[in-house]
Amino acid sequence: MRLGVLDVGSNTVHLLVVDAHPGARPLPAHSHKAELRLAQLLDGNGAIGPDGVEKLVGVVKDALQAAEDKGVEDLLPFATSAVREASNADDVLARVQAETGVELQVLTGAEEARLTFLAARRWFGWSAGKLLVLDIGGGSLEVGYGIDEEPDAAVSLPLGAGRLTAGWLPGDPPSADDIRALRRHVRAEIARTVGEFSRFGAPDHVVATSKTFKQLARIAGAARSADGLYVQRELKRNSLETWVPRLAAMSTAQRSALPGVSEGRANQLVAGALVAEAAMDLFEVESVEVCPWALREGVILRRLDHMGSA
C-alpha cells in the first residue's frame, strides 16, 4: 500500500510517500517539503502567531493535495517540538483540523527518540549490537540507547539547531562571546543526562540521524547524497572539532557555499555543530555513522508493525 507521513517539524513540513508492506522495506516514492521554521515563529509568549498558523494551514493543505496526487491510502500526520511546546498548541491543532481535516498527533520527545531509535535499529540490524542514536532536529536533540528495538534509555533535550540559533546566536557571523555562552549551555544540558546512559555500558555502534549530521559529515568529507543510500558515511569527532571554529567564523552566505549545506539550513549549522560536538565529546564518541533513516521512517515502521499484527 502507499503510505504518507506528514511531519510538521520545527524547520520544515515534510510529506514522505512510500510504498510499504508489513515485513518489507519501505520504498520512497515521493517527497514534498516546505520550509516553515515554526521554531523561529514563536512570539514572546511562546505562541505561534497568526501568520505562522496561517502558513502552517496553507502548507498542510498543499501536502494533502500532494498526497492525494500520489495516491496515498493512509496518511500518518504528526508534529514535533515546535508545536508540542507552543503555548497555544491546542488552538493551533484545532485550527489545522478545522481547515484541513488533518488531526496532527503531537509526539512527545521520548516518543521521537524511541521512533528514531527503531528506524536506526531496523537499518543497521541486530549485528550492530548496542546502539547509541543521536538526532539533532530544529527544536530538540534526541538520544536513544539500547540493544533491542525499544531503547533502554531515551531522552529529548531542548537543543535543536533552529531553537538555539534563534535564542543564542543573533549575529552573522555570531560573536565569540555568544558562541562561548551557547557552548557552555549545550554542554551543561547534555552532561545532566550522560549518567542515564553510561550505566548501560559502552555502545557497540554509534549512529547519527538528521540533516544537521548529514551536512556536517558532508563538509568533513563524507560521500554526497547522490552517491546513494548504501554508501557508508562517517563523521569523526576530530574532524568536527576542526570545523566548529571555522563554521563559527563564517557568515551564513559563506556556509551555504559549502558542499552539502542548503541555503535554508546554513544559518543553523553553527548551533547544530556545537550540539554535535558536545554530544560526541560527553558521550565519549570518536565517530558516528550517519543513518539514512530517522523519525519519519520510524513512524512508518511502527504503523507497518501494527498492520502486520492486526
Q: What is the mean pLDDT of the chain?
A: 95
Alpha carbon separation from 54 to 34, 234, 253 (Å, rounded): 14, 40, 29
Quick one: pLDDT at residue 233?
Answer: 96
Query: Are 120 and 209 spatial neighbours (Cβ–Cβ below 8 Å)?
Result: yes
The grid cell for 253 is 552566505
- Tell me if residue 179 falls in helix, strand or coil: helix
Q: Which of these, 188, 154, 6, lies nearest to 83 by C-alpha position?
A: 6
pLDDT at 48 exceeding the cut of 70 = yes
d(CA 50, CA 43): 10
The pTM is what?
0.95
- What is the mean pLDDT of the segment spanning 205-209? 98
Quick one: pLDDT at residue 23?
Answer: 85
pLDDT at 121 exceeding the cut of 80 = yes
Q: Which of these, 165, 278, 263, 281, lies nearest to 215 by C-alpha position?
A: 263
The grid cell for 232 is 557508508
d(CA 25, CA 40): 35
Q: Specify the pairing of strand 27-35 against strand 12-19.
A: antiparallel
Query: Are 197 and 45 spatial neighbours (Cβ–Cβ below 8 Å)?
Result: no
Q: Which of these, 205, 14, 47, lies nearest to 127 by C-alpha position?
A: 205
Predicted confidence band of residue 39 (pLDDT cuts 50, 70, 90): confident
Domains plus CATH for the chain? 2-106 (3.30.420.40), 109-295 (3.30.420.150)
Residue 234, number of CB atoms within 10 A of its CB: 17
Quick one: pLDDT at residue 269?
Answer: 97
Residues near 65 by beta carbon (within 8 Å), at least 6 away in sequence: none
